[in-house]
Amino acid sequence: MNVQYHVIIVGSGIAGLSAAATLAGHGLDILIIDESGHRGGQLLRKTRLKPSCFSKFEPDLMKSKGFDLVWTINKDPDIDWLFNARVLGIFKDRRLLVHIENIKTHGEKASEKIIEVRAENLILATGAREKYLPFKGWTLPGVMSLGAAQILMKSYGVLPAHNTLIAGTSPLMMVLASEILGNKGKVTALVDENSMIKKLTFLPLIKNHWSKLLEGAFYTSRMFLNRVSVFQGYRVIQASGNKGFQSAIMAKTTPRGDVIPGTEVRFFSGALLVGYGFAPNIELPVQAGCKLEYQENKGGWVVKVDETLESSCRSVYAAGEITGIAGAKKSFIQGKLAAMSILKKVGKINARNPKKIFTAEIQRLLFLNHQQTAYSSFLNRLCQAPASAYAAIPDETIICRCEQITMGTIKKNIQQGFDTISSLKKATRCGMGRCQGRICGPVIFDIITALTQKKPEHIGCSLSRAPVKNVNIKAFLNS
């Protein structure tokens, strides 16, 4: 393995893979780093030995495209991969501090160390994570995020429970319901906070995003055939159980998002999965000093990029969900676009890439990228829980799970003037625990917004410093 690369890509999701496949074959030294042990990020949790015939029938073909990208990249000898490797920090001149774990076949850590690599050009494609709306009992065992349940099923072949209740605002709810049914599990009910009227705002977008409609139709028909009850306009307000989750109370909400008293219904189930959309993983770009911008229609704080996807830091590019939540297709387009911007910059327009064709392709990608904007707005509007829901979280509800900080403490401190993410963190320790605010950060942002109506620029976002992820001191001592 080299220490110096022409291009380093952080993240092997669809954006990272698409960038690597575009850069492949141009004589550039490329390194892909990913903290997980598989290729393909959130979309491809398991790399198949052979692309399945079924994936060819997916409406947007993103999974099969992802598998094809893995094949292309695997064949290129100039591309190095580093898996189970977390980028902990980015320093001057794009020097990256990377924590590498050697994992034994049965999952145990064999050894760990820290290395430094340097990139002439860096593509950050670190994806997104899920967002939450805390409620009483959301920390009980058996209550988990949609993504966690997906990992359980896809990576370990384990169902969350025999009977599973699904709730929230995320389109991932239907994906999960379908995956549970496909794995012979049962879905107690799907409790969707969004009303049909809100979902119908998708209609003007059908022309350019018909594949999403087909995908939705596929999931809906699977739920219909399995007689899954769907409740629209309801929110989970409480989860209860002795040692773990046993039941949840749902209540109907007004179009403004207020709970209507007297409409409560209790569901008994083995597990509760919840999801309120996605937030971009911006710790690394923040630590690197890239400028951010707050865009509600892109999912919150995102990396600010120009048309070439270069950030405010020279030769640091951002692609995929970290420039705005919009799904796999946008990540695929942006990975390619960032790579082509680098190829253009380093003068790789040659006989294989004649300038006219190259420029036309960049124009096409820019157009496709722009087309994703309308879908992004719809998606993020659909997923965002109303401000009133954050303001109404009961005082005893835990918000920061790591430091056990309740809504009551947060509210009291906001009233005392700690109304920015940074000041609230110092005053209460929320966001200082093991997850470093990855779970509670976006929630606290929404709580401050709901309670103070202050502007996003005033509230700010979680600051991150190297190491951006937890690491044993032993790893430094071994290096």
Ligand X SMILES: Cc1cc2nc3c(=O)[nH]c(=O)nc-3n(C[C@H](O)[C@H](O)[C@H](O)COP(=O)(O)OP(=O)(O)OC[C@H]3O[C@@H](n4cnc5c(N)ncnc54)[C@H](O)[C@@H]3O)c2cc1C
> What residue ranges bind ligand X (CB under 6 A)?
10-16, 33-36, 41-43, 86-87, 125-130, 147, 150, 172, 175, 278, 281, 284, 320-321, 327-328, 331, 469
Contact 116, 98 (CB under 8 A): yes
Place of tokens 């591309």: 79
| Smallest gap from residue 141 Cβ to ligand X (A) | 19
Residue type, 311: S
86/348 with CB nearer ligand X: 86
DSSP three-state, residue 133: coil
CB atoms within 10 A of CB 340: 23
| DSSP secondary structure letter of residue 272 | E
Nearer to ligand X, 129 or 298 (CB): 129
Tell the smallest beta-carbon distance from residue 39 to ligand X (Å): 8
Nearer to ligand X, 82 or 189 (CB): 82
What's the rounded Cα separation, in Å, for the pair 176 and 192? 13
| Cβ partners under 8 Å of residue 270, min gap 6 | 142, 160, 161, 162, 163, 164, 245
Please say which residue, 310 or 321, places its beta carbon nearer to ligand X.
Answer: 321
Tell me whether residue 328 or residue 402 sits nearer to ligand X (CB atom).
Answer: 328
Judged by CB, which is closer to ligand X: 410, or 461? 461
Q: In terms of CB distance, is 142 or 327 closer to ligand X?
A: 327
Which uninterrupted H or E stretch holds 475?
Answer: helix 473-477
What number of residues does the chain have? 479
Minimum separation from the CB atom of position 33 to ligand X (A): 5
What are the tokens at 173? Answer: 């709810």
CB of 128 to ligand X, least distance (A): 5
Angular region, 468: left φ>0, alpha ψ -120 to 50, beta rest: alpha
Decide whether 34 or 253 has the Cβ nearer to ligand X.
34
Beta pairing class for 271-275 and 143-145: parallel
Q: How far apart are CA 17 and CA 154, in angstroms?
A: 20
Q: State in angstroms the smallest separation of the CB of 355 from ligand X.
A: 29
Q: Cβ of residue 124: shortest distance to ligand X, in angstroms?
A: 9
Rounded to the nearest angstrom, the gap between the alpha carbon of residue 222 and the centroid of all alpha carbons in its chain is: 25
Closest of 68, 28, 137, 60 to residue 329, by C-alpha: 60
User: At its nearest, how many Å lie between ligand X and the CB of residue 122?
Assistant: 12
Q: b/e for 49-60, b at 16 or more Cβ within 10 A?
A: eebeeebeeeeb
Mention every residue, 6+ apart, whose C-beta is less than 8 A from residue 444.
Answer: 399, 400, 410, 421, 424, 430, 431, 437
Name which of 331 and 372 has its Cβ closer to ligand X.
331
Closest contact distance (angstroms) between CB of 214 and ligand X is 13
Taking every pair of C-alpha atoms in the chain, what is the biggest distance, in angstroms?
71
Place of tokens 């071994």: 478
Question: For residues 227 and 221, what is the distance between their CA atoms, to the nearest angstrom?
Answer: 10
CB of 48 to ligand X, least distance (A): 15
| Residue whose CB is less far from ligand X, 383 or 448 | 383
CB of 334 to ligand X, least distance (A): 8
